[in-house]
Amino acid sequence: MAGKFKMPSIKDVEQEENKDEVVKEKFKVGAGLLSDISKGTVVMDVVNIPRDQIQKNPNNHYSISGIESLAESIKQYGLLQPLHVMETENGYRLLGGERRLTAIDTLIKDDAVSDWTEDTLIPCVVKDAEDVKLDLSPENKERYAIITSNREQRAYTDGDRYMEIQEWKKIIDELRSKGIEYINGVDEEGKEKKVGIKGEKTRDILAQTTGMSRGQINNFETVHNSGTDKLKDALLQGKISVSTAAKAAKDLTDEEQDGIAEAVEKGEKVSPADIAAQAKKEYVLTQTEFKKDIKNILSAIKEKEISLDGKEQEKYHFHIRQLEKLIGGQK
């Protein structure tokens, strides 16, 4: 029984059926299927696996929008790319292809679609985390396999990029802790290169491993370090771009950031220019708020007297004068 797999570039199909109804097929696939950096012809072992033997991966946090249109495409034309899975004690766990598997589940649940069931054989590329030639824990090897599997087969959203950066940082932290000096990678032309780990800034390592610019990395890190949870959720859900989210995280208060997140959740369009305009609004200092700030300072002084050395005394008088000028200049 062949899997539901249609691809114009497949040649030389060899089928071998075993007693578990898992069908192995070897396809010679053109370079464009796997990634832009693939060269020549790649031999890929594809195993046809029943749907009920494939479990979704709780560590796969990539976006899965557009399911209905993808399900209709699979219904009409079949699965154009195999899923990527790893074998487990209880079957197989998904590495790449969350959107496709979710779309297949939609077809299985549709009573009007008769040729998709839990027993339908789904073409999969079976990967082994142990093939990851990096000194990593099993968890980080699987994390690396998920990243590389999805990179080969999906168009990234800003939310996907944000998530991938956080996953890469976990991998980089372990590599550093083990004293790894570099890992092997490839450049945009598919040529091998070494990516330095030891002594390198995390931002620079991320730029090389993800293919993003340092400016993009900075934007994502600004959101991660200064953004509210609601703002991050909006980014992950594709409701706001990273440039807008980074501007909000940098220039707005937590309350204002949450307001932006709620606005985009309702479908409003917000741009970096909108954030800049909001950040320029005058801040009104009231007597009540000023008294509250002074009260906080007084409560921080636990003793009746505080001893200050020469430099500390100079700093104290400098800031008092600055405050007097700031407030006095508003008269």
Nearest to 231 by CA among 242, 219, 218: 242
Q: How far apart are CA 108 and CA 24, in angstroms?
A: 23
Statement: residue 27 has pLDDT above 80:
no
Question: Is residue 5 included in any domain, yes or no?
Answer: no
109: domain CATH number is 3.90.1530.30
Domain check: are 220 and 269 in the same one?
yes
Domain check: are 185 and 250 in the same one?
yes
**200-216 pLDDT tens trace:** 999 999 998 888 899 99
**42-95 pLDDT tens trace:** 445 788 999 999 999 888 777 777 788 889 988 888 888 889 999 998 899 998
More confidently predicted of 3 and 238: 238
Statement: residue 1 has pLDDT above 70:
no
pLDDT of residue 303: 61
Statement: residue 19 has pLDDT above 80:
no
User: What confidence category does residue 302 fall into, taking pLDDT thresholds of 50, 70 and 90?
Assistant: low
Domain with 70 in it = 11-128
Please state, for a pLDDT cut of 90, what percent of the chain lies above it. 36
Domain check: are 22 and 109 in the same one?
yes
Domain check: are 275 and 291 in the same one?
no
Quote the crossing angle between the two packed helices 158-177 and 229-236, to the nearest 10°. 110
pLDDT of residue 206: 92
Question: Is residue 146 included in any domain, yes or no?
Answer: no
More confidently predicted of 9 and 239: 239
Domain check: are 266 and 161 in the same one?
yes
Question: Is residue 135 included in any domain, yes or no?
Answer: no
Mean pLDDT of the chain: 80
Please state, for a pLDDT cut of 70, what percent of the chain lies above it. 81
Per DSSP, the residues of 166-231 read: HHHHHHHHHHHHTT--EEEEE-TTS-EEEEE-TT--HHHHHHHHH---HHHHHHHHHHHHH--HHH
Question: Across residues 12-34, what is the average pLDDT?
Answer: 37
Q: How far apart are CA 52 and CA 38, in angstroms?
A: 32
User: What confidence category does residue 189 fall into, taking pLDDT thresholds of 50, 70 and 90?
Assistant: low
Statement: residue 8 has pLDDT above 80:
no
Look at residue 321 and give its three-state secondary structure. helix
Residue 5 gets which letter from DSSP? B
pLDDT of residue 37: 34
Domain check: are 119 and 204 in the same one?
no
Question: Is residue 323 included in any domain, yes or no?
Answer: yes
Statement: residue 122 has pLDDT above 60:
yes
Domain check: are 319 and 222 in the same one?
no
Question: Across residues 11-26, what is the average pLDDT?
Answer: 40
pLDDT of residue 185: 67
**123-140 pLDDT tens trace:** 998 988 777 778 888 889
Domain check: are 119 and 43 in the same one?
yes
pLDDT of residue 118: 86
Of the three residues 239, 260, 279, the one that is the final residue of a domain is 279
- Cβ–Cβ under 8 Å, residues 140 and 174: yes
Beta bridge pairs of residue 25: 15, 46
User: What confidence category does residue 24 fall into, taking pLDDT thresholds of 50, 70 and 90?
Assistant: very low
More confidently predicted of 224 and 299: 224
pLDDT of residue 14: 35
